[in-house]
Amino acid sequence: MPAWSRPQRPAAYTEQAIITAILDGDYPAGATLPGERDLASQLGVTRPTLREALQRLERDGWISIRQGKSTVVNDFWHDGGLNVLTALVRYRRSLPPDFVPNLLEVRLAMAPAYARAAITCSAERVVTTLAASETLADTPEAFATFDWTLHHTLTVASGNPVYTLILNGFAGFYEEMACRYFARPEARAASRAFYAALLDAARAGDATRAGQITEAVMLESIALWKAVNGDT
């Protein structure tokens, strides 16, 4: 039986406790949760509070509630939505080892597109943001903060708010991982060159070039991350 810990808000606690138990493997995909009475008792919450949490978990794809039968734990990688990604980041002690490389692969697919769109729609805004990179301090923290700001600006300037919503789901976690990435001087050097090249493309209004530059540095960042973490 999982060890539960009780924070202040019952509904939020209940949801968090069940997600943590799923991520920790106490309730793997295909497993059934204890009956409502037993689970509420284990968690120390009322049955209405438990039902509210279970409904949220079903909405996000963590579980399937079956009337008259036990609640089944889903394979959240197959059945989950964007809220599952947010939860994975929030409870990141349970992240699978390939999560960050997979996330970088998604960024590789998206970033060139929103960089092109940002230059097309709002090149001046991108220039203003990138100009700050010319005096960027050579520290992991400074690079992590600036990189987040740049990508957030690019998504907003792209005119497609879905890019921004996806990126915002990783706020905090993004900078935490970026600090690890930018701890290596070669990672900072690669990004400094990227910022300078992207600034030139933005000033020229060259959206195609911006996309090409962004794709190249995204590929390089995946290789550098794997080198930092000993992945193959």
Ranges 42-56, 83-97, 178-192, 216-230: which has the least confidence: 83-97
Mark whether 218 and 105 lie in a shared domain: yes
Provide the whole-model pTM: 0.77
Q: CATH number for the domain including 159? A: 1.20.120.530
Task: Take residue 209 and report the two structure tokens written for it.
Answer: 């070039």
Q: Considering only CA atoms, which of 110, 56, 100, 62 is closest in space to residue 84?
A: 62
Residue type, 17: A
The arithmetic mean of pLDDT across residues 26-36, rounded, is 93
Does 232 have pLDDT greater than 50? no
Q: What is the pLDDT of residue 1?
A: 60
pLDDT tens digits for range 147-182? 999 999 999 999 999 999 989 888 878 888 899 889
Mark whether 107 and 32 lie in a shared domain: no
pLDDT tens digits for range 75-107? 988 988 878 887 887 776 667 777 888 888 989
Domain count across the chain: 2
Last residue of a domain, one of 94, 112, 145: 94
Mark whether 141 and 75 lie in a shared domain: no
Mark whether 82 and 113 lie in a shared domain: no
The answer to the question of residue 109 being in a domain is: yes
The answer to the question of residue 35 being in a domain is: yes
Q: What are phi and psi of 5, to 5 degrees?
A: -130, 140
Task: Take residue 42 and report the two structure tokens written for it.
Answer: 């284990």
Mark whether 69 and 141 lie in a shared domain: no
Q: What are phi and psi of 72, to 5 degrees?
A: -105, 140
The answer to the question of residue 3 being in a domain is: no
Q: CATH number for the domain including 82? A: 1.10.10.10
Domain carrying residue 83: 10-94
Q: How far apart are CA 175 and CA 34, in angstroms?
A: 38
